[in-house]
Every structure is written in C-alpha cells, then in structure tokens.
Structure 1
Amino acid sequence: MKREAIREFFRRLHDADPEPKTELEYASPYQLLVAVVLSAQATDRSVNLATRKLFAAAPTPEAMVSLGEDGVAGHIRTIGLFRNKARNTVALSRLLLERHGGEVPAGREALEALPGVGRKTANVVLNTIFRQPVMAVDTHIFRLANRTGLAPGKDVVAVENALLRRVPKEYLLDAHHWLILHGRYVCTAHKPKCGECCVRDLCLYRDKTA
C-alpha cells in the first residue's frame, strides 16, 4: 500500500472512531497489566467477565499476593490456561512490590522481566497507560497488516517494525487500537465484512467479500 493510501486509511479509521479504547476493563495501570496477561489466547469479553470478580477481591498487587494462586485461579478458571496465568499473576504482583514499589514500570525491559509479560503485553501497557507510540501486534493486526498490504511481514516483529515505519506520526499513538478493533469486528479471519469496511477501496486484498 502506498504512503498516500496509508494516510487516508488511518484518516478514515480516525474519523469513524476519534478516541479508540481498549475493550479490557480496568481501574488502574496494575489492573490493565493483569488483564492483558490474562487475555493471551482468550477474548477480551471472557477476561472482563473474570476480572470483574477478581479485581473486586484483589484490586492491588498486595491483595493479589494475599489472595494466592488458588484464590486467583478460582476467579479465572473460565479462561484458558488459568492455572499458569494465576501463577504468573501472583508472581508478577510480588515482583512489582519487590522491585517497583507496587507500581507498573514505564520501561519495556522492566515490564518484560515480569512473569507472563512478553513483547506484545509490554507494548499494550506502554501504549495504553504511558501513551508511548509503540505497536502491539496480535493475531488480528498481523492478519490485517498482511491482508490489506498495509505493512506485510513474515512474523509479528516484522509487522511491528513495518507499521512503526509506515503509519503516519499523527496517527501512530492510537493505531494499535484502530487496527485491533477493525481486525476484530470488520476484517475478520474467515469472513471479512468487506461490504461494510470504510477502507475497502484502499485495501489490496484480492478475495474481498460482497
């Protein structure tokens, strides 16, 4: 996709949703971090259903450590890999207390040193909480970037780097949210809703649907 088309692509996404937000529910940076860790291989809806009760019982790192792995697991057992995620949630909460005074750090290296936190999770937190112009590439964004010709790449890191180069600076801060929502609800995996897509004419996907 050419530069002019990319700029128009994001202009339209911006006009359709000027202030895009994550669909994960949270009341603090810590809660967003936990929610993103829990969202791996799970839907935001299923995570929200679980964290409403989890965060009511343990809204802070101190409370989460006190709740313990079994207590956390009891609240999130409807989410895939819940036992491993419960272990990581308690462990990262403990490290936040030990290393960062219970606060979520604003640096990638410190975030990725926490259990269960990889590059994508760190990018979500850095972008959503600390408003850093980074790009968290999940399966939706990876598919959309390759399918549309926006930023093709063989793996998520290649797509991330391509997006950072190609997205106009004025749109970069919110690009992650626009792309994930567009991939989740319009440019879906099996039956993309091309007929209701606001950037259909800019997209290079050959197999567009009616």
Structure 2
Amino acid sequence: MRIHWDEIFPVLEEFKKRFDLPSVSLIGEESGSPFKILISTIISLRTRDKVTLSASRRLFAVADTAPAMIRLKQRDIEELIYPCGFFRVKAGNILTISREIMGEHGGEVPATKEGLLAFPGVGLKTANLVLSLGYAVPAICVDIHVHRISNRLGWIETKKPDDSVGALEKVLPLKYWIPVNELLVLFGQKICTPRNPKCPHCPLHAFCNRVGVEQS
C-alpha cells in the first residue's frame, strides 16, 4: 500500500495551526531546555494536558534546572505538581533524576537513549520525546494517540505503543520522525478520538483505512 506522506503531513500541519500546542511541545518551544522537556514529560504521564501545563509551570517557577531542583524536598515537588496523576511517585523520580544529572552527567541531561532510559520513570516514549524536542535527534515518540492513529490509518499493524516505534521507523520518512508526535497528539485530541472519531469532519478522510472504527 502506498502512503501519501507528502500529502498527509501538510494537512496535519495546517490542522495544527488551529489549536494550542500540546503542553510538552509548548514548554519545549518556549524554553528549548532538555531538562524542562524531560521533567514536564514525566509529569504528563497519565495526566491531562491542562494539568500537565499548569503543574509544570508551577514547578519551573520555583526550580527550572537540576541544581535548583535538588535543593527542594520531595514534599515540595509533590505540592507543586499536584494534582497530576501519581504525583508522589513522579516527585520522587524528578528528585532522583535531578540528582543523577548533577552527580553522573555533569549537570546536563544525557543526549542518548541509553542515558535517558537509565533514569527512573523514563520509558521509550519519554526518552524519544526528549531526544527529538530537546536535541533535534530524529526519534519517534509514540504515545497512545500516535499508536492508535497510525494503526487506524493503516500505516502499521501493532498491539502496543512501544511496538509501534519500530514499525513506524520502517515506514515513516525520516523528516517526519520528530513532528509526528505533536501532530498526531493534537489530531487525536480533536478529531481522531479513541471512541466515536469525527470521521465526517476529518481532513485525512481520503487517506484513512478506518481500521477498527465501528462507529463515528
């Protein structure tokens, strides 16, 4: 099956202009800081976008670097990022990561997948988002939106988000590796929703195989 990448992605880029960026993309665009991207991505896990943005802004107003973060107590971080999901676990991970950045990485967020995955609470999704947004390293960040939409469109056929990373690497042109997450997250929030996707209003309708869509 031929996939019309160079027709699909301009449509997604045009769609993106109608909405605010996802929280982590916005923080990355504003700051260009790999540390802020890493920490805000950790906060974002299983948390709504608006909560992620407000919690990240509260935390960064107090501590926006690893040296500043390690001066806080875990309880301080918990209070600043509440009510994000699993805020106590995330606060502990944020503090541990900040200490490891200072103690083992010379104060810099590592720019390698292996270095990032060694941190507590950091999985493939978080590592690839930090690499792509923080260091402009071609890496495909697959969250639940990217996984769902890529399968629904018929680009890939996978069961789990982590499996979708390798599958997309085989078919997606390199120039789209970084923007695919931001574009499909917005698209998944507004149009290609998990249940009852808005297919009649979808600008990608002509390119979609509607795999698994029973009602729209």
- TM-score under structure 1 normalisation? 0.90
Of 124, 141, 147 in structure 2, the residue corresponding to residue 142 of structure 1 is 147
Q: After the TM superposition, which residues 181-192 of structure 1 pair with which residues of structure 2 at under 5 Å, given as runs? A: 181-192=186-197
Contact 2:11-2:204 at 8 Å conserved across structures: yes
Q: Which consecutive unaligned segments of at least 5 residues does structure 2 have? A: none
Matched residues, percent identical?
34
The code of the aligned residue for 1:166 comes to V
Mapped contact 1:3–1:166 kept (Cα < 8 A)? no
Residue matched to 2:23: 23
CA distance in 2, matches of 1:173, 1:47: 21
CA gap of 1:5–1:207, structure 2 versus 1, over 3 A, is farther
Find out whether 1:207 has 2:206 as its counterpart: no
Aligned to 2:43: 38
Q: What amino acid does structure 2 have at the position aligned with 1:10? A: F
**Aligned 8 A contact 2:124 2:162 in 1:** no
Equivalent residues, number: 207
Match of 1:3, SS state, is coil
Matches within 5 A, 1:112-131: 112-131=117-136
Deviation at 1:7, TM superposition (A): 4.1
Tell me the amino acid that sits aligned with residue 200 of structure 2: G
Alignment check: 8 A CA contact 1:31 1:59 kept: yes
Q: Retained in 2: the 8 A contact 1:187–1:193?
A: yes
Structure 1 letter corresponding to 2:9 = F
**Worse-matched range after superposition: 174-183 or 5-14:** 5-14
Query: SS where residue 188 of structure 1 aligns?
Result: coil
Alignment of 1:1-210 (within 5 A): 2-17=1-16, 22-24=22-24, 25-26=26-27, 27=31, 28-205=33-210, 206-207=213-214, 209=216
User: Are the structure 2 counterparts of residues 11 and 110 from structure 1 closer, same or farther at C-alpha, using a change threshold of 3 Å?
Assistant: same
SS in 1 for 2:109: coil
- The one-letter code matched in structure 1 to 2:206 is D
Alpha-carbon shift at residue 29 of structure 1 (Å): 1.6
Kept after mapping to 2: 8 A contact 1:7/1:168: no
TM-score in terms of structure 2 length: 0.88
Q: CA deviation at 1:148?
A: 1.7
Root-mean-square deviation (CA, aligned residues, Å) is 1.9
Q: Is the 8 A contact 2:34 2:134 kept in 1?
A: yes
